[in-house]
């Protein structure tokens, strides 16, 4: 009886193994078939675009204790304003320009220093000051280090800093 039991067990075990193998192949074939339907290429391209945009965002910004989070950090975290909203010169100054211009970092003209700003304004003119702010000059990076600023926002921040120095601008 022992040989018959062993034989029956081996036959049953073999059939179960074959059935499991066939079932696995069927499931694999169904998964491959279901995965071949459209939309994957478009979704993959969208995911790659989103990853590239996330990798190109600024990784940080300088701000003093007690200040609100800079605008570029809020935008990077999904808390920023819509891209269609143009920030005021004061907002741009507080989020980007103030980090250097409030302290005169790297010999930048300090906010409110009438002599320094008047000299620059007379020597270079308003349009050149705006152009230098957009393109960068000496230690100042283009757009103050925030590539998301529009030309209009940079221009407004220059007007704001000149007005802080008591210089009225006719733009």
Residues 101 and 158 in one domain: yes
Number of domains in the chain: 2
Residues 77 and 136 in one domain: yes
Residues 122 and 73 in one domain: yes
- Cβ distance 129 to 159 under 8 Å? no
- pLDDT at position 39, please? 57
Which residues are within 8 A (CB) of 154 and not within 5 positions of it... i.e. 6 or more apart? 92, 130, 133, 134, 143, 144
Residue 169 lies in a domain: no
Residues 145 and 75 in one domain: yes
Residues 93 and 132 in one domain: yes
Residues 48 and 123 in one domain: no
Residues 73 and 157 in one domain: yes
Residue 171 lies in a domain: no
Residues 89 and 120 in one domain: yes
Cα torsion 7, 8, 10, 12 to 10°: value is 160
Instruction: Name the residue range of residue 100's domain.
Output: 60-164
CATH for 78: 1.10.760.10
**How do residues 95-119 score in pLDDT, each as one tens digit?**
888 888 888 888 888 888 888 888 8
**How do residues 52-94 score in pLDDT, each as one tens digit?**
887 777 766 666 666 555 555 444 444 444 455 678 888 888 8
Exposed e or buried b per residue across 113-152, where buried means at least 16 C-beta atoms within 10 angstroms of its C-beta:
beebbeebbeeeebeebbbbbbeeeeebeebbbbebbeee
pTM over 0.85: no
Cα distance between residue 164 and residue 112, in whole Å: 5
């Amino acid at each position: 009886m022992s040989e018959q039991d062993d034989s029956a067990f081996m036959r049953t075990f073999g059939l179960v193994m074959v059935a499991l193998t066939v079932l696995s192949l069927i499931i694999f074939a169904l998964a491959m078939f279901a995965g071949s339907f459209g939309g994957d290429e478009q979704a993959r391209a969208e995911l790659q675009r989103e990853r590239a945009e996330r990798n190109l965002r600024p990784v940080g910004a300088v701000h003093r204790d007690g200040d609100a989070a800079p605008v570029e950090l809020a935008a990077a975290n999904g808390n920023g304003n819509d891209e269609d909203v143009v920030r005021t010169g004061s907002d741009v100054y507080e989020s980007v320009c103030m980090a250097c211009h409030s302290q005169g970092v790297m010999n930048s003209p300090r906010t409110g220093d009438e002599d320094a700003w008047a000299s620059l304004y007379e020597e270079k003119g308003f349009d050149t000051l705006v152009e230098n702010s957009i393109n960068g000059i000496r230690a100042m990076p283009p757009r103050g280090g925030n590539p998301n600023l529009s030309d209009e926002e940079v221009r407004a921040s220059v007007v704001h800093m000149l007005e802080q120095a008591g210089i009225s601008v006719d733009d």
